Amino acid sequence: MISLASRRLSGLAHGGPALFIFLLVMLPMALLSACRSQLQEQLYQGTTLGTGYHITLYADLDARQRERIAVGIQGELALLEQQREPLLATLAAAFSVTPKVLTATPISFGEELERLIHALAVDRLTEWLTEVGVEHMMVEVGGVIRTRGSPPGAAWRLSLEHAGLPEQGAGRHINLMNAALVHRMVRPIPVTIPALPRTLGISVVAATASEASRQALLLMGANQEGKTLSEALDVDSAAKLVVKTPQGIEILYTTAMEPWFEP
């Protein structure tokens, strides 16, 4: 297990005027703050599963511990590479039984399966790093992101904007803590009635990357099946939809997304 500093405590005790009470209150807090400041940023990045990965940790690590984490990350990714083909076959078989979602979604079947593998990689890396004692991390594989804990004195501040989609003002950001974020762009397809609203992109926040990917896929399928926008959003998901309407681009948020927005 990696020895990490204690978490920072919030709030101040209201002591009396006596000096020793002041010291009893302030000294432990000073020590905790000093320990917290020792959490250094550690970066690991590379390529895997046909895409790139980036991992940011905040931990008090020596050189040997950093090397052990680097080797462990490579080991987990190598295992996933070995399991990739069987996993793709398992996912394909699962969707062949209930293919409704993917057949209603204007995306490549193989491409979506690959993205589900990226989400699985994010979850596996996050859980492995937690097991070895890391408390504060952000793991990203192929654009799928999951966080745990937070950077010292800050939060994991992430944009909800999609690359390649029209910018809408300054855009909105969320503080992602102990959760995952996925973005999905929906490829345009010919439609019978061009005036109907069409979803261009979806963002979903959920507890794990795999769950966020599943919810995004369901939203994509629901919208492409011809349901109204209100029906497509009638799910217990923290989601953002970028929709093209005859009046222009519209941004829709589910109620569950609101708590994630930064103050």
Between 121 and 23, the higher pLDDT residue: 121
The answer on pLDDT for 107 being more than 90 is no
Residue 95: predicted pLDDT: 61
63: domain range? Answer: 40-260
Number of domains in the chain: 1
In a domain, 211, yes or no: yes
In a domain, 182, yes or no: yes
- Using alpha carbons only, give the angle 77, 83, 86 rounded to the nearest 5 degrees: 155
How would residue 55 be classed by pLDDT, with cut points 50, 70 and 90? Answer: very high
Query: At how many degrees (to 10) do helices 109-131 and 63-97 cross?
Result: 140
> For 124-155, what is each residue's pLDDT tens digit?
999 999 999 999 999 999 999 999 999 988 88
Q: Which of 205, 188, 208 is nearest to 253 (CA)?
A: 205
In a domain, 217, yes or no: yes
Residue 100 CB partners (closer than 8 Å, separation 6+): 221
Contact 236, 256 (CB under 8 A): yes
Q: Collapsing DSSP states into helix, strand and coil, what is residue 156?
A: coil
Count of residues for the chain? 263
> Which CATH number do you get for residue 243?
3.10.520.10
Q: Collapsing DSSP states into helix, strand and coil, what is residue 85?
A: helix
Q: 99-112: b or e for each residue (b if 16 or more CB lie within 10 Å)?
A: eebbeebebeeeeb
In a domain, 78, yes or no: yes
Contact 130, 148 (CB under 8 A): yes
In a domain, 1, yes or no: no
